[in-house]
Amino acid sequence: MASALAALVALLLVAQNAVQAQEQDPFAIYVKAGIDPSQHAQITELATQVEQTNIGRSHEIMNLIKDIRTLSLQPDLDEKKILAAQSKINDLQGAMVLERLKLNMKVRKLLTPEQRIKLVAIIKEQRAMPSTPNSPPQ
């Protein structure tokens, strides 16, 4: 009985991991929409460019957060430096969001009209599903 239960738990974990991996694959939605290998390669190239840019921004944000933490531990706060660092973080985060939005628009332009229609249908379907605590908002 215990081994059957252990096997069932293992099977459920494998299935859950497969579902989560599919949800985490940024190309899964486009594959469902019917992209071909050429489109996949173009999307990969665009996404890689954005990712490289945003990695640098992420590192800068982490350094600014460290700076703010260090500054906040001083007996006399340097409000100007703290606020300037936070403002820079806000600017970097905004730029990252803007780049992702531009990427989505570029990718959409690569799709055929039929693929765009299918993509929109998939997105609407996903948004209509209730989200689980472990899944990111759609």
pLDDT tens, 66-120?
999 999 999 999 999 999 999 999 999 999 999 999 999 999 999 999 999 999 9
In a domain, 31, yes or no: no
pTM beyond 0.75: the answer is: no
Confidence of residue 134 (pLDDT cuts 50, 70, 90): low
92: containing domain: 48-127
Residues 89-101: pLDDT tens digits?
Answer: 999 999 999 999 9
In a domain, 116, yes or no: yes
pLDDT for res 25: 84
pLDDT for res 129: 86
In a domain, 102, yes or no: yes
Q: How far apart are CA 71 and CA 85, in angstroms?
A: 10
Confidence of residue 18 (pLDDT cuts 50, 70, 90): very low
Q: What is the count of structural domains for the chain?
A: 1
Q: How far apart are CA 24 and CA 3, in angstroms?
A: 31
In a domain, 134, yes or no: no
Higher pLDDT, 19 or 106: 106
Mean pLDDT of the chain: 85
pLDDT at residue 13 is higher than 90: no
In a domain, 18, yes or no: no
Closest CA relative to residue 71, chosen from 84, 86, 82: 82
In a domain, 59, yes or no: yes
Q: pLDDT above 70 covers what percent of the chain?
A: 78
- CATH number of the domain that residue 120 is part of: 1.20.120
Tokens representing 64?
Answer: 């600014």
In a domain, 12, yes or no: no
Closest CA relative to residue 22, chosen from 122, 128, 130, 124: 122
For the range 41-49, what are the long-range contacts, defined as Cβ-Cβ under 8 Å and sequence gap of 24 or more?
Answer: 42/110, 43/107, 43/110, 46/103, 46/106, 46/107, 47/103
In a domain, 21, yes or no: no
